[in-house]
């Protein structure tokens, strides 16, 4: 039996989630909270049936619509103000461009991550420009594991235990970090920080950050 305090906390989370769903616009899009909001710095509560199946499905629809509208390739529940350990990811990829090949950016079909965790597979780390929907207007070089083992569950309760490589691994790390109160800027190379204006966009679109490192004076490790 759950303690009354835990049950009360679950009701609060449920009410908050339902309020966010209810407040979504006619496209099903919710506002994204930005850096400085406390929800982005807390550890998300593990999902444990705080929402029933229909309520969870409605929340996931809002999260997916919000991710697409931004547009982005991942969104964690804290980014719309809900401290639950849920995330959605989806990436159409970058086709056959040089950047796609170097970054190993293959299409990632839509999927839901429930209580996800990851660990690096091997010692290899790769550094590329990365951005965040909760830190609009900026991008920075962030070194991450090239390969990770993803664990957790999907929205049906099926267990996840798989190895991801390249950009898919980066997306999973980024979104799972959100659930631990970590922003990509906590892991980024400070001197690489660039506004997403003409210059910053150019750095972010180059296959590797080598030109940016030379121009801005930072090391790629």
Give, for all 221 residues of the chain, the pLDDT tens digit.
344 445 566 779 999 999 999 999 999 999 999 999 999 999 999 999 999 999 999 999 999 999 999 999 999 999 999 999 999 999 999 888 888 999 999 999 999 999 999 999 999 999 999 999 999 999 999 999 999 999 999 999 999 999 999 999 999 999 999 999 999 999 999 999 999 999 999 999 999 999 999 999 999 87
Instruction: Find out whether 34 is annotated in a ligand binding site.
Output: no
Instruction: Note if the pTM is more than 0.75.
Output: yes
Catalytic one of 104, 175, 189, 206:
175
- The answer to whether 178 is annotated as binding is yes
- Neighbouring C-alpha atoms within 13 Å toward the C-beta of 214: 3
Tell me if the domain spanning 4-216 has CATH number 3.90.45.10: yes
Is 175 part of the annotated catalytic residue set? yes
State how far the Cα of 18 lies from the Cα of 54, in Å rounded to an integer: 11
Residue 58 structure tokens = 């409605």
The answer to whether 37 is a known ligand-binding residue is: no
């Amino acid at each position: 039996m759950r303690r009354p305090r835990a049950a009360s906390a679950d009701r609060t989370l449920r009410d908050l989630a339902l309020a966010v769903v209810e407040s979504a616009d006619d496209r099903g899009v919710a506002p994204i909270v930005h850096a400085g909001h406390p929800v982005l710095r807390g550890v998300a509560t593990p999902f444990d049936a705080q929402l029933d199946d229909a309520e969870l499905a409605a929340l996931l629809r809002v999260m997916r619509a919000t991710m697409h509208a931004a547009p982005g390739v991942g969104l964690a529940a804290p980014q719309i103000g809900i401290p639950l350990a849920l995330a959605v990811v989806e990436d159409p990829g970058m086709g056959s461009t040089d950047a796609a090949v170097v970054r190993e950016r293959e299409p990632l079909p839509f999927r839901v991550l429930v209580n996800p965790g990851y660990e690096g597979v091997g010692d290899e780390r790769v550094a590329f420009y990365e951005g965040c929907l909760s830190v609009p207007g900026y991008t920075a070089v962030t070194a991450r594991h090239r390969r990770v083992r993803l664990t957790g569950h999907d929205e049906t309760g099926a267990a996840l235990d798989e190895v991801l490589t390249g950009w898919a691994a980066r997306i999973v790390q980024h979104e799972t970090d959100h659930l631990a109160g970590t922003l990509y800027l906590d892991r980024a190379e400070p001197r690489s920080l660039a506004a997403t204006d003409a210059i910053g966009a150019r750095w972010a679109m180059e296959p590797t950050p080598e030109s940016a490192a030379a121009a801005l004076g930072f090391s790629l490790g």
